[in-house]
Structure 1
Amino acid sequence: MHAIEARGLVKQFDGFRAVDGIDLNVPEGSIYGILGPNGAGKTTTIRMLLGIIDPDEGTRVLLGSDRPLSQSKLVGYLPEERGLYQSMRAADTIAFMGALRGMPLKAAEMRGRELMEEAGLGYAADRQIRQLSKGMAQTVQLLGTIVHDPKLIVLDEPFSGLDALNQAKLERMIRAQADRGVTIIFSTHVIAHAERLCERIAIIAKGKVSFDGLVSTARDRLRPQVHLETETADGPWRKALPDDVRHEGNWWHFTLPDSGVEPLLTALIGGKAGIRSLSIERPGLHDAFVAIAGEDTAAEMDAPTAEELI
């Protein structure tokens, strides 16, 4: 079963195709990352999936309905542009967001205070938003996103502007929701976040999907790398090293051969190479991203946003 299915989504603005024929399948209960540089079309895609804007072409089905807005009470959405009433108390903010999703206001306030206690912010429930740190305010907005127990949570660049401590806290909250069986979609331009959290990803660049599938499948496009240190610098064992080997002193770096590590070890030991160190490193998602989307797109991913530079 899929929480979201999209086919051939297209959206143009003043003749520019911000989204150019995107297909997506988001399995129920998964943590699904939409990964791409700023300006790739991630936010526009999310808004079409949720029914906030309509596509110029294509179809989308959200939680079984081809009218996404009809399912809005089952969705929690944290947009990239944060917006909280600065004079409102934290608990009232969460209650207000729950009421917008159909909760009775009193029940939403009680649940909001419970969530703040669970998040370690119970002491700040009656503080105004302007009195909170950026990380605390973002936590309040996330709690308002989940207060009504949605089946689908959509987070657009949720880590933007947060320090490492608050990022880790937010990641724990996301995992806790996933453990309850909630489907979670989040967009990010930070590859490390997607690698830590996601089971599946879609890589979007220039309005197109260049990969949609398991993180492990993306990483398996590249073979593992071998890092070998030997006591000797030459000998018959060198014939066992592949053609792509890079030599740095007594260190050798190369792609693991198709035959695996056992024949290599046999040749090294038999040829008296003297193995000091041998490690096999599986490629990370960043390496896979470069292979799929290209170095230029990967360089754009690493560039901080204006908000992160503040």
Structure 2
Amino acid sequence: MLELTSISKRYGDRLVLDDVTFTVEPGRLTGFVGGNGAGKTTTMRIILGLLANDGGTVSLDGRPVTADDRRRFGYMPEERGLYPKMKVLEQIVYLARLHGFTKADADARARGLLEELGLGERLNDKVEALSLGNQQRAQIAASLVHDPHVLILDEPFSGLDPLAVETVAGVLQTRAAAGAMVLFSSHQLDVVERLCDDLVIISDGAIRAAGTRDGLRAEHAQRRYELISAGDTGWLREVPGVTVLDFDGGYAEFETDNDQTAQAVLRRAVSAGDVASFAPQHPSLSQIFKEVIR
């Protein structure tokens, strides 16, 4: 398990990370979301040892992360870092060789990974000749070629079309299923919500929410309900402690201030007419994100 505990970072008088604490579990995909300047990239660079933190610790399996540990980390920065004049296969083979693989093993690994990422027909193209989306896939291959046990990806889905998103998602899921710890950031909240087992939301350098995807959805669903009734539900607007979010005749979505208010709404709905459905609503990641960063 990769664990960040009370990480802080300052640039001069500006506190850019404040008590950042979360974990990345083996075998799970962890989505790291936040607005521009929230602190995602700074946090990732501290994990990788590219930046020094001013406080707190980064540990792996209960002990401080070492330089040897980081050799088994894979990192894809948001900005592309491949050599544009090199051919795609040569580039990935070269990086595998830097990690100590023999020429034959490096070639086999590079070819297999590029095929998996849908670049099998572009092996001999120069990086600069690739589309931006294919350059992104090549960058992901560079981060994976040494079979890292911790994978840190900064906006891996940026610039990818829907088919490429599915390809890359499948590759990351395969690595997680094999036991890797995978942390990735993305502004595409729908992709994060669909893929991730765990979520970390950061804003203004502080963690606003962290936990399993389903756990966070359940936590934020406790006060949001959907009511479908044969009778008109307009009376909900008059109930103390209720905020109506959506309304259309016998349909209403609303929030309550506590469980007792929700039960009171249900009793009144039953007394007013047939109730077809009354259930807590699971908010989307986008809704949770907006709620926790207010």
1:234 and 1:119, CA in 2 relative to 1: closer, same or farther beyond 3 A? closer
In the TM superposition, residue 46 of structure 1 has moved relative to its aligned partner by 0.9
Question: How far off its partner does 1:36 sit?
Answer: 0.9
Structure 1 spans left out of the alignment, 5+ residues: 295-310
Q: 1:263 to 1:211 in 2, by over 3 A?
A: closer
- Cα distance change of structure 1 residues 44 and 288 upon mapping to structure 2, 3 Å threshold: same
1:64–1:141: structure 2 CA closer, same or farther, 3 Å change rule?
farther
1:140 matched to which residue of 2? 138
Give the corresponding residue for 2:225. 225
Matches within 5 A, 1:100-179: 100-179=98-177
Distance across 2 between alignment mates of 1:44 and 1:70: 21
Show the 5 A alignment for 1:48-127: 48-62=46-60, 65-127=63-125
The answer to whether the aligner puts 1:25 opposite 2:17 as a matched pair is no
1:288 corresponds to: 288
Matches within 5 A, 1:183-194: 183-194=181-192
Query: Partner of 2:173: helix, strand, or coil?
Result: helix
Give, in whole Å, the separation in 2 of the partners of 1:265 and 1:22: 41
CA 1:242–1:215: 2 relative to 1, 3 Å: farther
**Residues 260 and 113 from structure 1, CA distance in 2 versus in 1: closer, same or farther, beyond 3 angstroms?**
farther
Instruction: Return the offset for 1:180.
Output: 1.2
For these two proteins, the number of residue pairs brought into alignment is 287
Aligned-pair distance for 1:117?
2.4
> CA contact under 8 A between 1:227 and 1:280: conserved in structure 2?
no
Question: What is the rounded CA distance, in whole Å, between the counterparts of 2:152 and 2:50 in structure 1?
Answer: 13
Counterpart in the other structure of 2:248: 248
Q: Give me the whole-angstrom Cα distance separating, in 1, the residues matched to 2:117 and 2:160.
A: 16
State the secondary structure of the residue aligned to 1:176.
helix
Structure 1 residue 194, shift from structure 2 partner: 2.1
Alpha-carbon distance in structure 2 between the residues aligned to 1:226 and 1:268: 12
TM-superposed CA distance for 1:90, in Å, is 0.9
3-state DSSP class of the match of 1:113?
helix
* Aligned-pair CA distance for 1:16: 1.4
Moved segments of 4+, more than 6 Å? 259-267
Instruction: Please tell me whether the aligned partners of residues 72 and 101 of structure 1 are also in contact (alpha carbons under 8 angstroms).
Output: no
Distance 2:22 2:54 in 1: 16
Aligned equivalents of 1:65, 1:263: Cα separation in 2: 51
CA distance in 1 between partners of 2:212 and 2:178 (Å): 21
CA contact (8 A) 2:221 2:281 kept: no
CA offset at residue 42 of structure 1?
A: 0.9
AA partner of residue 113 (structure 2): L
Q: Which amino acid aligns with 1:61?
A: S
CA distance in structure 2 between the partners assigned to 1:59 and 1:40 by the alignment: 20
For the structure 1 residues 55 and 280, does the alpha-carbon distance in structure 2 shift closer, same or farther, using more than 3 Å as the test? Answer: closer
Out of 34, 44, 55, the residue aligned to residue 42 of structure 2 is: 44
Q: Deviations over 1:67-121 (max 9, x none)?
A: 4322122111111111211111111111122223232233112211122223332
The offset of 1:248, in angstroms, is 3.3
Q: 1:301 maps to what in 2?
A: none
Distance 1:96 1:278, change over 3 A: same
The residue type paired with residue 91 of structure 1 is L
Residue 11 of structure 1 contacts residue 56 of structure 1 at CA under 8 Å; is this kept in 2? yes
Q: For residue 150 of structure 1, what is the amino acid of its counterpart?
A: P
Does the C-alpha gap of structure 1 residues 104 and 119 become closer, same or farther in structure 2, counting only changes over 3 Å? Answer: same
What is the letter of the counterpart of residue 220 of structure 2? R
Q: What is the rounded CA distance, in whole Å, between the counterparts of 2:26 and 2:35 in structure 1?
A: 26
Deviations 1:31-85 (A, max 9, x none): 1122111101111111111111211222211355524322122111111111211
- Against the structure 1 CA distance between its residues 124 and 234, is the aligned structure 2 distance closer, same or farther, given a 3 Å change threshold? closer
